[in-house]
Amino acid sequence: MSEEYRSRIERRRIQEQQKNASKGQKGKKQGKSVWKKIFFICLTLGLVMILAGIGAFAWIIKDAPKFDETLLKDPLSSEIYAADEKTLIAEVGKEKRDDITIDQIPDVLKNAVLATEDARFYEHHGIDVKRTLVAVFTNITAGTSQGGSTITQQIVKNSFLSPEKTLTRKVQEWYLSIQLERRFSKDQILEMYFNKNLYGSDVYGVAKAAERFFGLKADELDKLTLEQAALLAGIPQSPNNYIPTVESNLERAEKRRNMVLQYMNRHGYISKEVMEKAQSTPIEDTLNIQQKQGNKYQAFVDTVIEEVQNKTGSNIFEDGLKIYTTIDPEIQQITEKALSTNEYINYPDNERLQSAVVILDTQTGAIKAIGGGRHYQTGGYNYATKIKRHPGSTIKPILDYGPAIEKFKWSTGHILKDEPYQYSNGTPIRNASRSYVGNRTIRDHLAWSRNIPALKAYQEVGADYATNFANNLGFPITDEQKANESNAIGAIDAASPLIMAGAYAAFGNGGYYIEPYTVTKVIYPDGTEKDLASSKKKVMEDYTAFLITDMLRTVVDSGTGKLANISGIDLAGKTGTTSFDKSAIAKYGLPNNATRDAWFVGYTPQYTGAVWTGYTTTKSSDDYLGKQSADFSKLVFKAIMSRISTSKETFKQPNSVAKSGNEYYVKGGEKPKPPKPDKPTGLQAVYDEASNSILLTWNYNSENETTFEISYTVDGKTMSLSSTGDRKAVLQNPEKGKTYIFNVAAIREGVKSDAASASITVQGPDEKLKSPVGLHAKYDKNSNQIFISWKHPNANAQNVSYIVTYTINGNTQTLTTTTDTNATLSNPQPGQKYVITVVASNNAGTSEPTSTAVTVDGIENPNNNNNNGNAGETKPGKGNVNQNQNENQHQNQHQNQNQNQNPNQ
């Protein structure tokens, strides 16, 4: 048994060992199988990816443009249309190019281009793989956009492809670049590059660039200096930023030129010494700019070219675009006439005086006209779009009062005190008038452009809030600049007519900012259409826009902008001026009140216009704006706007706004204190004996509800009579013989006016009128008249008149009834004695008569030259006459009568 048992155990052990050995062999076989599977899977995936890549590449290049060799040499011109989409205003790119051969291009220019654009141009086959990989790595790691395109790729991109930056377009670019390299030699490709490049504005091809910038013809390119060649090589990277015909580009262009010189040194074309010498040469010393006469819409066209290139990247001179713009040709021509002729404005004869204009649609932001400057030339400096000057007081609605209304809901009647004041750093601030007016409304402060209240508003709002408000209106203020409190009064170099027009239009359209634009759409040769019109963005509440607008109405109605006002048009606007600093005044001998910049920005519901006037540079004592020329911006605005405004539409008060007196306020916000009403006029007090009452009447003009407070004073005591909305009142049963003094004041919204006053004495029943006193009559021979005068003894009597009679030869006649205390008897009979009688009369009765007599001169006595005439004087009730014994006779002399003239006493 035991042996059997052992044998069974051993057999089991042997079986288990065999089984384990079998499992090991099977595991090894299974391991090898897994790796085979992984290998085959990867191989399959790789083949699939390769096939997919090939398929994707094939799919992408199947849509690539056909390789049309004519596009390499015969670029398509672009057409620019007016707002009606029918009127062709310009065709750019149609000019004959001065194509040159590779043999005409000097080595210095070739070397500059190769060092800058494609150092391995003669080594690759259209694509510089190494440079492309470096560019991709840099883009990923540095987050910047580095170009890796070869010269061949640039030609392909500009000739066949759209400017979009996509992988599809890049693959098509590679494919077409290889095709180009297969069909043309390196020299032919380089020749195309020089002939096709854009050098800014309408300067196309290196031959045209050399002629425009340096005055060199196509057969004179061998005269190019190193500095000039380096500049030409650098411009195509960003033509509009480097074109040297624009003065503001010169600094950037010189830096770009110097960078090209550095590339030339790096690649061994020039030594370090030559590089440094060329870099030290001022760019101005290398230029000889040749001006080209533009068309009548040139400033607008140049803006269109730049806008299309910036928004689409297209080469407008060769891509065959149809460009639809916003221009109104009639408005553009009126604008040019206002700037470049003396038909509307009498400009001084100083070429450095410039003025620029932008007119745009208030509701859409579409630019209707651009006045780039006086006598603007093609590709010249566009003062309407490119200047960065101090805006002066035109900034106040944007940075001070607009933000305050938006944030605090101030009313137009909000009170700020104009007083001696300082910036936060202690520097004093002054008004232009060098005076202070105390507490006034912000409407009044804005109308008269006071600086101190504007700064107070800005400080109360806060720099951050105010700057953000301005930025939302398209007015650029950086974080570094916003720390300067003098921004509040326009001391910041950031304004252009384009920027100011865009900002102010937002006040006129209810609070929407629309970036001004000149192009509505572009249609490419393949029919693709791209919309370029700006969209609108809500940047303020409608109440802010309306309150600012209404305050700016006051500026042109009665404030600093009256000269720009246009009758019959709902117009709002703001003036702005800036001054020179003390160093410039001392250096050039300028007056202390010399103006550097003058602005006017205004708008109607239809159009917005911004006008700047100033000198490009100050080089002499004549280069400043005086009292007359500082008004040019207002006059230019009025000249243009009065001729183009066709709408009588007015600014509509939104539902969020209410009115109190003359001031507007935001519902739920600060309600302004009502203005003081005008005092009543024409107050009269009349006693009526029949009703024994005094009737008061007065005049008052007001569209608002007004009540009147009436009081009277008698015997030193003042009592209230009544309050009424009528223009009359009655005091019943006044005391006889008393004098009543009445005061009437207007009350509107709780505010009382100054009082109008009138007095009356009620005549007692038994009081008789006193006779006139001091009766005097005198004959004047020269005028042949008797002058009569007397005094009024009835100080308290009312409604007194005087009956004047005269008696001659027993016959009594009435001369006159008058309320005056003098009378005149004309053409009395010579030699006759006249008895003059005067009686006082009113409702209470008549006085006793007072008489005097006077004798008229008879026949002239040649021995008596006394021309004084005779005079008579008597007391009341008497008849004594003082006669001049030497009477002079008057012979029918008639002279001009002078009624109611008192005689010399």
pLDDT tens-digit series, residues 309-334:
999 988 888 788 999 999 999 999 99
What is the structure's pLDDT at 886? 32
Residue 500: pLDDT over 70: yes
Contact status, residue 63 vs residue 172, Cβ threshold 8 Å: yes
Query: What digits encode the pLDDT tens for the residues 410-461?
Result: 999 999 999 999 999 999 999 999 999 999 999 999 999 999 999 999 999 9
Query: What digits encode the pLDDT tens for the residues 678-689?
Result: 899 999 999 998
**Three-state secondary structure string covering 405-460:** HHHHCCCCCCEEEECCEECCCCCEECCCCCCCCEEEEHHHHHHCCCHHHHHHHHHH
pLDDT band for 858, please (50, 70, 90 cuts): confident
Spatial separation of the C-alpha atoms in residues 834 and 810, rounded to whole Å: 10
What is the structure's pLDDT at 678? 87
First to last CA, the chain: 185
Q: How far is CA 533 from CA 365, 367, 518, in A?
A: 9, 11, 8
Residue 531: pLDDT over 70: yes
| Catalytic-labelled residue, pool 79, 117, 318, 887 | 117
Contact status, residue 308 vs residue 317, Cβ threshold 8 Å: no
Provide the token pair at 830. 């010579």
Query: What digits encode the pLDDT tens for the residues 722-769?
Result: 888 899 999 999 988 889 999 999 998 788 999 999 999 887 665 678
The alpha-helical segments, DSSP class H, found in 765-814 are: none
Radius of gyration of the CA atoms of the chain, in A: 48
Other beta carbons less than 10 A from residue 47's beta carbon: 10
Mean pLDDT estimate for the chain:
85
Contact status, residue 93 vs residue 158, Cβ threshold 8 Å: no
| 58-72, 537-551, 693-707, 826-840, range with the lowest pLDDT | 58-72
Other beta carbons less than 10 A from residue 516's beta carbon: 28
SS3 396: helix
Residue 545: pLDDT over 60: yes
Q: Is 273 a catalytic residue?
A: no
Q: Is 181 a catalytic residue?
A: no
SS3 478: coil
pLDDT band for 130, please (50, 70, 90 cuts): confident
What is the structure's pLDDT at 143? 47
| 52-56, 262-266, 621-625, 673-677, range with the lowest pLDDT | 52-56
What is the structure's pLDDT at 577? 96
Q: How far is CA 738 from CA 500, 556, 697, 794, in A?
A: 68, 53, 20, 14
What is the structure's pLDDT at 368? 98
Residue 762 DSSP symbol: P
Of 839, 834, 824, 845, the residue nearest 877 (C-alpha): 839
| Catalytic-labelled residue, pool 393, 645, 847, 851 | 393
Provide the token pair at 140. 């990923």
Residue 706: pLDDT over 70: yes
Contact status, residue 710 vs residue 721, Cβ threshold 8 Å: yes
Contact status, residue 260 vs residue 112, Cβ threshold 8 Å: yes
Q: Is the dihedral of CA 60, 191, 74, 183 positive or negative?
A: negative
Q: What is the mean pLDDT of residues 893-902?
A: 35
Q: Which amino acid is it at 184?
A: F
Cut 0.85: pTM above it: no
Of 717, 795, 727, the residue nearest 756 (C-alpha): 727
Residue 893: pLDDT over 80: no
The alpha-helical segments, DSSP class H, found in 126-279 are: 129-142, 151-160, 167-183, 186-196, 206-214, 226-234, 239-242, 250-266, 272-279
Give one word for 845, left, alpha or beta, with left for phi > 0 and alpha for psi -120 to 50.
left
